[in-house]
Amino acid sequence: MSTIDLNPLYRTMVGFDRLAGMMDQASRLDGTQGYPPYNIERVDENAFAIDIAVAGFTEAELDIETKEGLLTVAGKKAETEDAPGRNFLHRGIAQRSFIRRFQLADHVLVTGANLEHGVLRIDLIREIPEEKKARKIEIGAPAASNEPRLIGKKKASDAA
């Protein structure tokens, strides 16, 4: 696994420490987690979905949590002995416990989750607050006079 040298970016960017930490965390976790497989889909400009293959898990065995921009999906399989009379020749459906984490961008919220046909679908939406959205600034007409504006003081002509 190769590492990315972010030092050149640090020389020109201020306040991006969180981004660098997220990239470092993603590089460490990405190669170690292969189970369960998942898809991330852009449904719309501001809507996303994560599909996770959780065959064999029930809703009660799955836990979804968000905290400080981190979405955590955990599956806890109850430890059970194989049913009497079952003799597996091959056991390819993994039913082990797992934890899968996703770093969410700012203003991305989980809106719902659904388990259907062994696939857990988590719906997300990006809701940018009005004060964070780009807005057009109108350019006003120039002032009628060239006199500087005085705040809190009267001009000599206004005193009379």
SS (H, E, C) the chain: CCCCCCHHHHHHCCCCHHHHHHHHHHHHHHCCCCCCCEEEEEEECCEEEEEEECCCCCHHHEEEEEECCEEEEEECCCCCCCCCCCCCCCCCCCCCCEEEEEECCCCEEEEEEEEECCEEEEEEEECCCHHHCCCCCCCCCCCCCCCCCCCCCCCHHHHC
* Least confident interval from 30-44, 51-65, 84-98, 138-152: 138-152
The overall average pLDDT reported for the chain is 80
Whether pLDDT at 142 is above 80 = no
Assessment of whether the complete model's pTM goes beyond 0.85: no
pLDDT in tens, 49-71: 999 999 989 999 999 999 999 99
How far apart (Å, rounded) are the C-alpha atoms in residues 118 and 10? Answer: 44
pLDDT in tens, 26-40: 655 554 468 899 999
Single-letter amino acid, residue 93:
I
Whether pLDDT at 96 is above 70 = yes
- The domains of the chain are located at 35-79+90-130
Sequence-distant (6+) residues with CB within 8 A of 50 are 38, 39, 40, 41, 71, 102, 121, 122, 124
Average pLDDT over residues 120-127: 96
CATH fold for the domain made of 35-79+90-130: Immunoglobulin-like (2.60.40)
Q: Reply yes or no: is the peptide bond before residue 36 cis, omega within 30 of 0.
A: yes
Pairing of strands 62-67, 47-53: unpaired
Percentage with pLDDT > 70 across the chain: 65
